[in-house]
Structure 1
Amino acid sequence: MSLRVAINGFGRIGRTVLRALATARKDAGVDVVAINDIAPLDVCAYLFEFDSVFGPFPGRVETGAGSLIVDGRTIPFHRAGSLADLDLSGVGVVLECTGHAGTRDVAELGLAAGAARVLISGPSDAADVTVVPGANDAVLDTQRIVSAASCTTNALAPLLRLLEDAFGVESGHMTTIHCYTGSQPTIDAPRGDAARSRAAALSMVPTGTSAGRLIDTVLPDLAGRVTARAVRVPVPSVSAVDLTVRLRDRADFDARLRAAVDASPVMGRTARPLVSTDLRGRPESLVLAESETVHGRDFTRLFGWYDNEWGFSNRMIDMALRMGAVPQGGL
């Protein structure tokens, strides 16, 4: 039996989740039974069919009376200002992709509409728990509101979990070299962060990242040991993790690292000299660039790529399936 999900917010992540479910993940066992967005249906359909990052959708996209039709599959489309105005009875998981579920009253709207659980596509203090596959999977139980953290946290946390378990992490610092996002203006315009007020496609922008605080939440045993910052760069997709760590044990490091990555359900590796566009559409949370590993006297530097939209959307699908598989009474 397929998991019934609703997508609330049909922006970058909402559309990418549906694109993945209609293509590479069409056999995942997920049935999208509702989409809700305040934008007009024809605009949402157009943006789903023609994507500046992923290209045209490789199938048929049509609209009907209050519905988006993808390869013949009719999905009811709503424009409700609040999910509480909809009937989501029978929905297993709401994918909350608006970016506005930072407070409990907003995060609970999917539950008020009748859905069993809510998965938030970003950091949220309103969530019952924050779960990153490959890092802290075991904390997921019967919680009804779950945060999937951020794309960068999904890239970094599994790597840190692996390093801590295999080698022991004494301390470290991560810089994410991150593509620009909708939080930045296309021309200089006021933002809360002065540097992020500058035109996104014209400059490298040093700034913060939510991964810095989320790592302490997701991996409390590493709390205070790893710091994080970001540099937003003028590319539209695919980001990178540049991590420098001091490890307790580096014996036979390269072979042990390869074995650990190969055993990970969310990580990959490459020995080829790739650039960011080569990683577009990769489903892993992080793809380590083996040739970029550097061993200093006291530190090790690791570098990995992540498609911050496609990879994260795949983790949203994975998390929804796991949440839908948890019975109401718990694991």
Structure 2
Amino acid sequence: MTVNDDSFTNWKTREEIAESMIPLIGKLHRERDVTVLLHSRSLVNKSVVSILKTHRFARQIAGAELSVIETMPFLQALTALDLGPSQIDLGMLVTTYKADDRGLSVAEFTAEAVAGATGANKIERGEGRDVVLYGFGRIGRLVARLLIEKSGSGNGLRLRAIVVRGGGEQDIVKRASLLRRDSIHGQFQGTITVDEAESTIVANGNAIKVIYADDPSVVDYTEYGIRDAILIDNTGKWRDREGLSKHLRPGIEKVVLTAPGKGDVPNIVHGVNHDTIKPDEQILSCASCTTNAIVPPLKAMDDEYGVLRGHVETVHSFTNDQNLLDNYHKSERRGRSAPLNMVITETGAASAVAKALPDLKAKISGSSIRVPVPDVSIAILNLQLSREATREEVHDYLREVSLTSPLKRQIDFITAPDAVSSDFIGSRHASIVDAGALKVDGDNAILYLWYDNEFGYSCQVVRVVQHVSGVEYPTYPATAV
């Protein structure tokens, strides 16, 4: 048998194993609200090839490729346990098992590692939480996709309605089409039908009422059977407490803004300060995509090295706020054609750091350039550290942060030498450290952080909503803080 034959046989073997993993992962998700991860990447609703690629990606982080041959026994062990709602990371199970020298079997070790999610310790499945989207633009539709994807057994977040202004003939059909097909993020994974008579979009079995309103103060959500819902405002029209309070109508309990909040509205970056949200807080903000991209790595660097001062330069994709062709705009430069120009503009991300990281004493300045790409941006974070370090030290530290720290869902790490912006479309992390571009010289470190300013940010929004709704389930094995 030749080397090529050996490689092909190995591939077919792994392909067969990955195929047999799919029903196990799906059953755990549907019946027990268990999300199976691999180094913080969900394996739910993934294809055979996607599962294999996710295993292969582990080599960029851990230095060696994980095999489904290694992870399958742990998955099988999970199916035999009395699991409650949780997230279980197969990658971490394998890694910690290899480091364990007690001679336990896979079944014994797995049962011990996820004990907090089994038997008397497990969380009881709730009835789910209603969610309303106010606005249905770029972020609104991506959040909708995520909510539908995560609906699972129906005991988590349930997208019940979207609120939009009337758009004329076949409005609901056109909005459903925008949800179904996206020029950047591709096809919706599932089926979508429209009931115009009932003003309802049905996506993967989720009936989503389309409510038409020009003013939030005129909607009574209880008329649509909606109770104690979390409303996500994607319009950015209201950003202070007074304006956002207009959404606190019958049927709505909390309001989450997908833009930087003003005044005393808490700005939340999941993974960094989401645990500071007060239980009785009704209004909060998820800050901006750029704030979410820079705050987690900034916290990681400050925790390890101390940060004295810093500057962030964002090279940001153009947005709907800009003009396609030169035309009047209230901002001085954003009126110039977005697809044809690099446009210097302002960013509030640097000043927003103080809200998310109040203990950080360093002064952080910032500026931004909009560039002619439709999605994925990069933040260049230039830091003066309180002690000297080497490039290798910072490189290895950030790789470990992305793999095992409490920030692993926010910070990703890539070593590919030819990585470019389009490679990160669809990334679910708040930012991705480009290892090849990292620069360290004494007490100066420069981090290049890619981020999908649409989808990665939408994932952060959903994580915040999961947290405040009580359906953000614990991850096992537990990450050391």
Q: TM-score range by the shorter chain?
A: over 0.9
1:260-308, CA deviations, whole angstroms, 9 ceiling, x for partnerless residues? 2321231110101311111000100011111110112441111011111
Q: What does residue 245 of structure 2 align with?
A: 108
Q: What does residue 62 of structure 1 align with?
A: 193
1:122-177, CA deviations, whole angstroms, 9 ceiling, x for partnerless residues? 01215631111122223211211000000000001111111111110011111111
1:185 to 298, 323, 336: 323
CA-CA distance at 1:319 after TM superposition: 0.5
Tell me how far apart the structure 1 counterparts of residues 423 and 399 of structure 2 sit (CA, whole Å).
21
CA-CA distance at 1:206 after TM superposition: 1.2
Amino acid at match of 2:449: G
Secondary structure of 1:116's aligned partner: strand
Tell me how far apart the structure 2 counterparts of residues 71 and 325 of structure 1 sit (CA, whole Å).
23
CA contact (8 A) 1:177 1:239 kept: yes
1:52 to 180, 183, 187: 183
Q: What does residue 255 of structure 1 align with?
A: 396
Match status 1:270 vs 2:414: yes
| RMSD between superposed Cα atoms in Å | 1.8
1:21-64, CA deviations, whole angstroms, 9 ceiling, x for partnerless residues? 233x3439210011111142222112111211112223222211
CA contact (8 A) 1:85 1:113 kept: no
Pair 1:166–1:298, CA change in 2 (3 A): closer
Structure of greater relative contact order (alpha carbons < 8 Å, 6+ residues apart) = 1
Length-normalised TM-score, structure 2: 0.65
1:230-268, CA deviations, whole angstroms, 9 ceiling, x for partnerless residues? 110100011111111011134433222222232123111
Q: What does residue 222 of structure 1 align with?
A: 360
Q: For structure 1, which segment, 129-138 or 306-315, has the greater mean C-alpha deviation from structure 2 after superposition?
A: 129-138
Secondary structure of 2:231's aligned partner: strand
Q: What does residue 475 of structure 2 align with?
A: none
1:11 to 137, 147, 153: 137
Matches within 5 A, 1:61-140: 61-64=192-195, 65-89=198-222, 90-125=227-262, 128-140=265-277
CA contact (8 A) 1:286 1:304 kept: yes
CA contact (8 A) 2:241 2:283 kept: no
Q: What does residue 347 of structure 2 align with?
A: 209
Q: What does residue 48 of structure 2 align with?
A: none
Length-normalised TM-score, structure 1: 0.93
Q: For structure 1, which segment, 91-100 or 245-254, has the greater mean C-alpha deviation from structure 2 after superposition?
A: 245-254
CA contact (8 A) 2:128 2:157 kept: yes
Amino acid at match of 1:52: S
Pair 1:127–1:189, CA change in 2 (3 A): farther
Which runs of no fewer than 5 residues in structure 2 stay unpaired?
1-126, 472-481
Amino acid at match of 1:45: A
Q: Radius of gyration: which is bigger?
A: 2
Amino acid at match of 1:19: R
Tell me how far apart the structure 1 counterparts of residues 463 and 386 of structure 2 sit (CA, whole Å).
33
How many aligned residue pairs are there?
Answer: 325
Match status 1:29 vs 2:156: yes
Tell me how far apart the structure 2 counterparts of residues 150 and 309 of structure 1 sit (CA, whole Å).
10
1:279 to 405, 417, 424: 424
Q: What does residue 43 of structure 1 align with?
A: 174
Tell me how far apart the structure 1 counterparts of residues 402 and 205 of structure 2 sit (CA, whole Å).
39
The structure richer in helix per residue is: 2
CA contact (8 A) 1:170 1:246 kept: yes
Which runs of no fewer than 5 residues in structure 1 stay unpaired?
327-331
Tell me how far apart the structure 2 counterparts of residues 231 and 157 of structure 1 sit (CA, whole Å).
19
Tell me how far apart the structure 1 counterparts of residues 190 and 470 of structure 2 sit (CA, whole Å).
30
2:282 to 112, 126, 144: 144
CA contact (8 A) 1:128 1:144 kept: no
CA contact (8 A) 2:130 2:158 kept: yes
After TM superposition, where is structure 1 displaced by more than 6 Å over at least 4 residues in a row? none
Amino acid at match of 1:71: N
Secondary structure of 1:100's aligned partner: coil
1:202-248, CA deviations, whole angstroms, 9 ceiling, x for partnerless residues? 01111111202211222223356111111101000111111110111
CA-CA distance at 1:118 after TM superposition: 0.5
Match status 1:174 vs 2:312: yes
Tell me how far apart the structure 1 counterparts of residues 128 and 269 of structure 2 sit (CA, whole Å).
23
Amino acid at match of 2:157: V
Match status 1:303 vs 2:440: no
